[in-house]
Amino acid sequence: MTVPHHVLVAGAGPVGLAAANVLAAAGVAVTVLEAEPRLPESLRASTFQPPTLDLLDRFGATTRLIEMGRIARKVQYRDRAGWVAELDFGVLAGDTRHPYRVQCEQYRLNQVLAARLTGIRYGAAVTDVQQGEEKVIVTINGGEKLRADWLIGADGGRSRVREALGIELEGFTWPERFLVASTPFDFAGVIRGLADVSYFADPQEWFFLLRVREVWRAMFPTCSALCSSFFSNA
């Protein structure tokens, strides 16, 4: 009889939880290690694109996201005079089962995926990783050692797993800082024809508005005076 593999997953974000669900569905024993004492409910991302919705459908997660979020069938690009381009996701109907975006907070997806798993350890911060002769050895919280056949590092931009393996993070950090605000203010009531996802172009004072189920989210560059002027004029 073949002994099933055991996989450790560092990080209970959308990537780690999705990977854990795939493994569990295949009959692989999997344990997710999450440094936080519970799943965070910070806003983070709020958009799920058609390919992602297709992928998550196998877990029943897409239906739940639609129930908790909002379907956005169009995206607009605007300037100060009005919209200059509008994209309709309906043209993708022959290529995807979900020809639209779903606007829903990322943490809700994490909750849906986590509810399908039994092996999640909270308050388990990965502090070291070593390769043994047959197993990977993972140290959590500076002391306890866990052994598994494989380790998936899905612990974010400051990944301890990546650092322990000496893997350099390619890319760069944007020097700009941004402000993201959520508000129940009805922007669609004051901006004619506003789509649920709208990007406003400007060399300096750009911003975007997108709508989730109960609120609008707006993002601005903090170096701009637009943040205060836009809300005061709205």
pLDDT band at 1 (very low <50, low <70, confident <90, very high): very low
* The pLDDT of residue 3: 46
Q: Among residues 206, 208, 188, 190, which one has the least CA distance to residue 198?
A: 208
* DSSP, res 192: T
CATH superfamily to which 6-41+109-164 belongs: FAD/NAD(P)-binding domain (3.50.50.60)
Whether 234 shows a pLDDT value over 70: the answer reads no
Angle between helices 14-25 and 106-115 (to 10 degrees): 30
CA 61 to CA 202: how far, in whole Å?
A: 36
Per-residue pLDDT tens digits for 215-229: 999 998 886 544 555
Predicted TM-score of the model (pTM):
0.84
Structure tokens at 231: 């809300």
Average pLDDT, the chain: 89
- Which residue reads 């998550």 in tokens? 56
- Could you state, in order of their start, the residue ranges of all structural domains in the chain? 6-41+109-164, 178-233
Q: Which two tokens stand for residue 115?
A: 């509810």
Would the pLDDT of 117 be above 60?
A: yes
Tabulate helix, strand, coil % of the chain (nearest 5): 25, 30, 40
pLDDT at position 45 is 86
Q: Could you report the per-residue pLDDT of 119-177, keeping only the tens digit for each?
A: 999 999 999 999 888 899 999 998 899 999 999 999 988 888 998 888 888 888 878 88
Cα distances from 18 to residues 4, 76, 115, 129, 201, in angstroms, run: 20, 30, 12, 22, 34
The pairing of strands 136-140 and 126-131 is: antiparallel
pLDDT, residue 203, reads 83
